[in-house]
């Protein structure tokens, strides 16, 4: 068929199939735009809410060096949130609306950040496991079909790699430390393993968005494919650390050259996604408070900008 005979939607799919990047001013189906705004804004919210569990440990980091590293990491997450809000704005989403949706509880953010950080080992586990999961999910997003999202992901992934190394290094230090330190590392792994597997989303069969997002090359792998890659990558690392993955069903499967593993507690996953996680209310309240307490800063910035533009300096 000649290009002229293709509908706009078919031409769009042809470009996607040829791996041509879609840019903000290109024509796109409304559903593609909506899906991207949904995913990118949820991703941005996750980065911002994701600062809270780790922020909890900045004042209690065990040394000045650890404190400086953690502080830098939490600041990186803020930067990731800002690139992602900017990427979503290129699709016509307003930042105020995205934030209002987060604050009203309408918009989702990653389930993982609704769990508490109870010990210093949780900082290691978040870096090692949670950022490890984030990298597996986000490296393919550097090749996502929408240009501004893909480009934001390149920088995010570089920073995530540093985060993962620092997490692994904390876990290694604890695992090679006193029996109490090793136990602290194991206990953190026990609490974070299953919630981390939930980060990849529902099983493919229960994921309403995966099929279309794969067709549009927004997602390059399905939720289950990434979850499998994660388990295959992490089990040898846990073994290296001398830690035990808390899954009795975990077995190497020679035929598939990957691990078989137990079933995630999906009832817990959906409960957390619906806003009933152990820290869900606390996390949301912290973001609403930050927004309200920052009102004077926004007002001052706007007044300053108005004054400058009245003077002709923009
Ligand atoms: N938590 O059809 P599905 C980070 C929702 S940042 C909550 O499979 P999709 C980090 C999903 O939104 C981590 N909700 O959806 C930051 C959908 O609901 P709606 C965030 C979840 O979009 C700081 C419904 O369930 N990463 O790692 O095709 C420090 C059905 O799911 C979750 C990203 O956002 C969940 N875990 O696939 C450290 C990456 N899973 O919207 C680390 C970009 C699913 O239809 N996002 N839902 O009402 C993605 O790759 C995809 O959006 C997902 C879900 C794989 C997360």
Taking the mean position of all CA atoms in its chain, how far away is CA 3?
A: 38
Q: Which of 84, 201, 273 to mutate to test the pocket of ligand 1 (most atoms within 8 A of CB)?
A: 201
Handedness of CA 56, 61, 67, 70 (dihedral sign): negative
pLDDT band at 4 (very low <50, low <70, confident <90, very high): low
Q: Name the average pLDDT for the chain.
A: 96
Taking the mean position of all CA atoms in its chain, how far away is CA 143?
A: 16
Supply the DSSP symbol for 275. I
Which residues have C-beta within 8 Å of that of residue 241, sequence separation ≥ 6?
171, 172, 175, 185
Question: Nearest-5° angle of CA 19, CA 23, CA 28?
Answer: 85
Q: Are 72 and 124 in contact (CB under 8 A)?
A: no
| Cβ–ligand 1 contact at 134 (below 6 Å) | yes
Residue 232's CB: how many other CB atoms inside 10 A? 15
Question: Whose C-alpha lies nearest to ligand 1, atom 11?
Answer: 201
Strands 251-253 and 258-260: antiparallel
CA distance 252 to 261: 9
Q: What is the pLDDT of residues 130-179, one digit of tens each?
A: 999 999 999 999 999 999 999 999 999 999 999 999 999 999 999 999 99
Residue with tokens 């941005």: 44
Checking if the pLDDT of 225 tops 90, the result is: yes
Mean pLDDT of 201-205: 98
Which residues have C-beta within 8 Å of that of residue 275, sequence separation ≥ 6?
105, 281, 284
Residue with tokens 């031409």: 11
Determine which of 4-8, 139-143, 211-215, 301-305 has the lowest per-residue pLDDT on average.
4-8
Q: Are 171 and 185 in contact (CB under 8 A)?
A: yes
| Cβ–ligand 1 contact at 48 (below 6 Å) | no
Checking if the pLDDT of 1 tops 60, the result is: no
Q: Which of 233, 114, 119, 229 is nearest to 171 (CA)?
A: 119
Determine which of 5-9, 215-219, 303-307 has the lowest per-residue pLDDT on average.
5-9
Q: What domains lie within the chain, and their CATH numbers?
A: 8-313 (1.20.1260.10)
| Cβ–ligand 1 contact at 47 (below 6 Å) | yes
Q: What is the pLDDT of residues 22-69, one digit of tens each?
A: 999 999 999 999 999 999 999 999 999 999 999 999 999 999 999 999
Supply the DSSP symbol for 146. B
Residue with tokens 């989702």: 108
| Cβ–ligand 1 contact at 213 (below 6 Å) | yes
């Amino acid at each position: 068929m000649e290009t002229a005979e293709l509908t706009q939607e078919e031409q769009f799919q042809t470009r996607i199939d040829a791996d041509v990047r879609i840019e903000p001013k290109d024509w796109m189906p409304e559903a593609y735009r909506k899906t991207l705004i949904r995913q990118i804004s949820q991703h941005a919210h996750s980065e911002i809410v994701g600062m809270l569990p780790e922020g909890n440990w900045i004042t209690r980091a065990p040394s000045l060096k650890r404190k400086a590293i953690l502080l830098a990491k939490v600041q990186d997450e803020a930067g990731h949130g800002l690139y992602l809000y900017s990427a979503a704005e290129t699709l016509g989403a307003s930042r105020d609306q995205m934030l209002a949706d987060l604050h009203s509880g309408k918009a989702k953010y990653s389930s993982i950040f609704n769990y508490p950080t109870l010990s210093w080992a949780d900082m290691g586990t978040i870096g090692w496991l949670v950022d490890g999961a984030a990298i597996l999910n986000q490296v393919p997003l550097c090749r996502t079909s929408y240009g501004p999202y893909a480009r934001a992901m390149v920088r995010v992934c570089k920073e995530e790699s540093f985060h993962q190394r620092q997490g692994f290094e904390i876990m290694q230090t604890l695992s090679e430390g006193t029996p109490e330190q090793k136990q602290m590392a194991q206990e953190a792994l026990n609490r974070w393993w299953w919630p981390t597997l939930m980060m990849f989303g529902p099983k493919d069969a229960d994921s309403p968005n995966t099929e279309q997002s794969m067709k549009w090359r927004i997602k390059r792998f399905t939720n289950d494919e990434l979850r499998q890659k994660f388990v295959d990558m992490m089990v040898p690392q846990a073994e290296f650390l001398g830690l035990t993955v808390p899954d009795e069903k975990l077995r190497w499967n020679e035929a598939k050259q990957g691990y078989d593993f137990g079933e995630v507690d999906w009832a817990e996953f959906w409960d957390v996604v619906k806003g009933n996680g152990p820290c869900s209310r606390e996390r949301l309240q912290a973001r609403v408070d930050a927004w309200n307490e920052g009102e004077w800063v926004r007002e001052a910035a706007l007044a300053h900008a108005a004054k400058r533009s009245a003077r002709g300096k923009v």
